[in-house]
Amino acid sequence: MVETTTSGAQPAAGIGVAAVGPRFTGARVIVTGGARGIGARIAERFATEGATLAVLDRLSGPGLAQAESMGAWFGEVDLAEPESTRAAMTSAIGELGGVDVLVNNAGVLEFGTVLDTTVEAWDRAFAVNTRAMLLTTQVAARSMIDAGRGGAIINLASMAGKYGGANEAAYAASKAAVIALTRVTALELGEHGIRANSLCPGYVLTEMGAATRTQEMVDLWSSYSPLGRLGTPDDVAGLALFLASADGSYLTGQAVNVTGGMIMH
């Protein structure tokens, strides 16, 4: 594991309790898949609001650079590997002195129809998109429970997890599983003051899928939104911070659309 450390991690005001100054002064936040795209922007936004951060990603170069730019700790990890995932989470919590917010952002995009999806593609999608969230949640939640301060868990699902999507058999199924896992987490951990919600972005312009994305696709997808545009990482990051903040303290078990009105339920 490649890692850098940052000093001065401080205990956070309880997540869900209003504080003076930036919303997350002293809060300890872990973001998976924080090297680029939505995860990087979420991490940046938490940092600007006073949080102490740990970034986990398999991309050591971009991940380390991103972490250093925010004064964060970085851990290189392949979230498809269960033991490495648990070890990275334990290291991150140790470096931060605890955890108040966990953002499970890391994911992989697997294309394939129901008839053509391979077992390998199916297993890879579920290993990273769903199973890793279970493992990180287990480690983080146990730390939150032991600390007795509550906490917030935010899982990145997808619009595909609600409506499916042609040629996305494994991806859509894995994201639907994220929504279900989030609801169970909310039900089981609420008594400990831990809230769990999922975000369901629509089409967001990030590095994921860029290799196969054309301008014609962008124009078509934009037409699906009443707003006439695709999402940005900031659109998702702003809502992630809201869900982790005191303003979102009575929200749990929700699967919140960030789709520009592409779906409205």
Question: What's the pLDDT score for residue 75?
Answer: 98
pLDDT tens profile 39-81: 999 999 999 999 999 999 999 999 999 999 999 999 999 999 9
Question: What's the pLDDT score for residue 165?
Answer: 86
Which residue among the candidates 163, 171, 224, 250 is catalytic per the annotation?
171
Residue (of 19, 67, 62, 74) closest to 47 by Cα position: 67
As a 3-state breakdown, the chain gives helix, strand, coil percent values, each rounded to 5, of 45, 15, 40
| Domain locations along the chain | 3-258
Residues 36, 133: Cα–Cα separation, whole Å: 18
Check if the beta carbon of residue 167 is closer than 8 Å to that of residue 212: no
pLDDT higher than threshold 80 for residue 21:
no
Which pTM value belongs to this model?
0.90
Question: What's the pLDDT score for residue 15?
Answer: 52
pLDDT higher than threshold 80 for residue 102:
yes
Which is the CATH superfamily of the domain at 3-258?
Answer: NAD(P)-binding Rossmann-like Domain (3.40.50.720)
Residue (of 6, 60, 8, 55) closest to 29 by Cα position: 55
Radius of gyration of the chain (CA): 17
Average pLDDT over residues 19-27: 79
* Neighbouring residues of 118: CB distance < 8 A, sequence distance ≥ 6: 112
Question: What's the pLDDT score for residue 212?
Answer: 72
* Neighbouring residues of 90: CB distance < 8 A, sequence distance ≥ 6: 139
pLDDT tens profile 3-19: 333 333 333 334 544 34
Task: Give the relative orientation of helices 233-244 and 37-48 as an angle to the nearest 10 degrees.
Answer: 50
Residue 171 annotated in active site: yes
CA 146, 150, 151, 157: dihedral to nearest 10 degrees? 100
Average pLDDT over residues 229-240: 96
Across the chain, what does the average pLDDT equal? 91
Residue (of 123, 127, 131, 96) closest to 26 by Cα position: 96
Give the number of other Cβ atoms within 10 Å of residue 5's Cβ.
Answer: 12
Choice among 93-107, 156-170, 206-220 with the minimum mean pLDDT: 206-220
pLDDT tens profile 118-176: 999 999 999 999 999 999 999 999 999 999 999 999 999 999 999 998 999 999 999 99
**Amino acid present at 82:** P
